[in-house]
Homo-oligomer: A and B are copies of this chain.
Amino acid sequence: MSASPYKQLEQEFKRLHAFRGALSLLRWDAAVMMPRGSADIRGEQLAALETEYHALLTSPRITRLLDRAQANAQGLIDWQVANLHEMRRQRDHAIATPVSLISQLARATSRAEVQWLEARQQGRFDLFAPHLEEVVSLVRDKAALLGQALNLGPYDALIDEFSPGITTTDIETVFKALSRRLPSLIREVISLQDSRSSKLVSGKFPPGKQRALAVEIMKAIGFPFDRGRLDESEHPFTEGVPGDIRVTTRFDSADLFSGLLGALHETGHAMYDLGLPPEWRDQPVGRDRGMALEESQSLLLEMLVCRSRPFVTYLCPLLVKHFGVSGPEWDVENVYAHVTRVRRSLIRVDADELTYPLHILLRYDLEKKLLNGELAVRDLPDAWNSGMEQRLGIRPGSDAEGCLQDIHWAVGSFGYFPSYALGAVIAVQLYDSLRSEVTGLDEQIARGEFSGLFAWLRKHVHGMGAKLSVHELLKAATGKSLSAAPFVRYLEGKYLEGAASIAAA
């Protein structure tokens, strides 16, 4: 007797999982190890594997098996049903965009990426504009086709690729609440922080020692160095698959914290991936539940756990051990003040927890208008600059610090930005529940113990894989629906701590 349609599908998706892992390694190598002149060769390898992956996923065989498995789903357990659902979802996404459009997009974005780099270096938006126009027009076509196939609005269809189940309505609700409170909160916090004196933490911190510190902390957190690596790259990222996870950061010898917190942010992603259900490791239901939840896990570790007093309590003796620092600027309160400093700044990736969402709100607004035609590409720089002025009260001196700073649009990633801000909101909702259920959490963290933290996350988040939607997972883990209110409360509590206005409230 031959295997059931469902079991045959599992075999097919196991193969696709291996392809994904190979593709991920090719990308990791390109960013970390590859000689600079070899980008053309790598491009051909990635294109060949991606084309083949797409062909396998959209083959008539998979469609046939999906239909037959669906018709015989009565004997399947809940994980298998969810797996079948995710298989169908991946296939539906892949088949909705015709191969011709995919290759047009691949060519247009690879040209646009090169021109974007050039334009950013020279601060000349005009070099990039025609390429962005082409990408926007192709993404518009893709969004329309995806939307038709998935029965979603065009922009919702794009979001669904990155964060399944999240809708424009979810985003609007959350973003409205953020834009209502954040601007005034930022003013209050900056004025409060300005009123307090804190000492500069500076020095020379050799990258080798920074790396040793990061490794020590990652080990304490539970990152498995026999099945993962920490390397350096221009921007921090996480690639690989559970079983071979590759995390990167970049070390700045004048700044001790940026490399460390970059590594810890990525370790948050890695721990999510490592906590995915091992028995479903090579199946669609065993994957992460999209970018918003991914980002919630990196931000939870970086912002909520590591930029906290208990973590700084654990960290300070390690700074003494690794760098031999001494003096009052290295005491817990001063270091804590340093890692929670709020500033109005132009660059998203350098922004703090409080101003960061405003960077996202701007991009969300602009990318929707670019796609629906309300905003012409040539008007983007002006729209960007006045948006920054309006939201953050600062204006970029050049497009390099403005609308040319991010790679996302050049490579066609529209609908991705919202997940960063949603991730921050979700992180706080999860952490509220976690704190109420894990007793003695702060004391554990202050001792460098993270097992209580990750036991809860594995049970309620990581171990669920893609079995539930984000909304279902959040409800199951916290009893509540997605809401910006806990995030705002968290920011007020953390950043207005000790202020008269709060004390009076």
Interface residues of A (CB under 8 A from B): 14-15, 17-19, 21-22, 25-26, 29, 33-38, 40-42, 44-45, 47-49, 51-52, 56, 224-229, 241, 243-244, 282
Report whether A41 and B244 are in contact in the complex, using a CB–CB cutoff of 8 Å. yes
Q: Bound state CA distance, A225 and B33, in angstroms?
A: 12
Q: Bound state CA distance, A243 and B34, in angstroms?
A: 11
Report whether A49 and B226 are in contact in the complex, using a CB–CB cutoff of 8 Å. no
Q: Bound state CA distance, A51 and B22, in angstroms?
A: 14
Specify which chain B residues have a CB less than 8 angstroms from the CB of A21 in the assembled complex. Answer: 41, 44-45
Q: Nearest Cβ in chain B — how far from A241, in angstroms?
A: 6
Q: Which chain B residue lies CB-closest to A16?
A: B48
Which of A14, A42, A44 counts the most chain B CB atoms within 10 A? A44
Main secondary structure of the interface of A (DSSP, over half): helix
25 contacts between A and B (CB under 8 A): A14-B44, A17-B44, A18-B44, A18-B47, A18-B48, A19-B45, A19-B48, A21-B41, A21-B44, A22-B45, A22-B48, A25-B26, A25-B29, A33-B33, A35-B225, A35-B226, A35-B227, A35-B228, A35-B244, A36-B226, A37-B226, A37-B227, A41-B244, A44-B282, A52-B52
Specify which chain B residues have a CB less than 8 angstroms from the CB of A19 in the assembled complex. Answer: 45, 48-49, 52
A18-B244 contact in complex given A226-B36, A227-B35, C-beta closer than 8 Å? no
Specify which chain B residues have a CB less than 8 angstroms from the CB of A226 in the assembled complex. Answer: 35-37
Specify which chain B residues have a CB less than 8 angstroms from the CB of A22 in the assembled complex. Answer: 22, 26, 45, 48-49
List the number of copies, as a whole number: 2
Q: Nearest Cβ in chain B — how far from A226, in angstroms?
A: 4
Q: Which chain B residue lies CB-closest to A244?
A: B38
Specify which chain B residues have a CB less than 8 angstroms from the CB of A225 in the assembled complex. Answer: 35
Specify which chain B residues have a CB less than 8 angstroms from the CB of A18 in the assembled complex. Answer: 44-45, 47-49
Q: Bound state CA distance, A243 and B45, in angstroms?
A: 12
A243-B40 contact in complex given A25-B29, A229-B33, C-beta closer than 8 Å? yes
Q: Nearest Cβ in chain B — how far from A18, in angstroms?
A: 3
Specify which chain B residues have a CB less than 8 angstroms from the CB of A44 in the assembled complex. Answer: 14, 17-18, 21, 282
Specify which chain B residues have a CB less than 8 angstroms from the CB of A37 in the assembled complex. Answer: 224, 226-227, 243
Q: Which chain B residue lies CB-closest to A229?
A: B35
Q: Bound state CA distance, A282 and B282, in angstroms?
A: 32
Q: Nearest Cβ in chain B — how far from A32, in angstroms?
A: 9
Closest 6 CB pairs of A and B: A18-B48, A38-B244, A37-B226, A41-B243, A37-B227, A22-B45
Q: Nearest Cβ in chain B — how far from A19, in angstroms?
A: 6
Q: Bound state CA distance, A86 and B482, in angstroms?
A: 60
Report whether B244 and A48 are in contact in the complex, using a CB–CB cutoff of 8 Å. no
Q: Bound state CA distance, A40 and B244, in angstroms?
A: 10
Specify which chain B residues have a CB less than 8 angstroms from the CB of A244 in the assembled complex. Answer: 34-35, 38, 41-42
Q: Which chain B residue lies CB-closest to A43?
A: B18
Specify which chain B residues have a CB less than 8 angstroms from the CB of A25 in the assembled complex. Answer: 25-26, 29, 45
Q: Nearest Cβ in chain B — how far from A488, in angstroms?
A: 41
Q: Which chain B residue lies CB-closest to A53?
A: B52
Q: Bound state CA distance, A14 and B45, in angstroms?
A: 10
Contact of A29 among B29, B36, B51 (CB under 8 A): B29
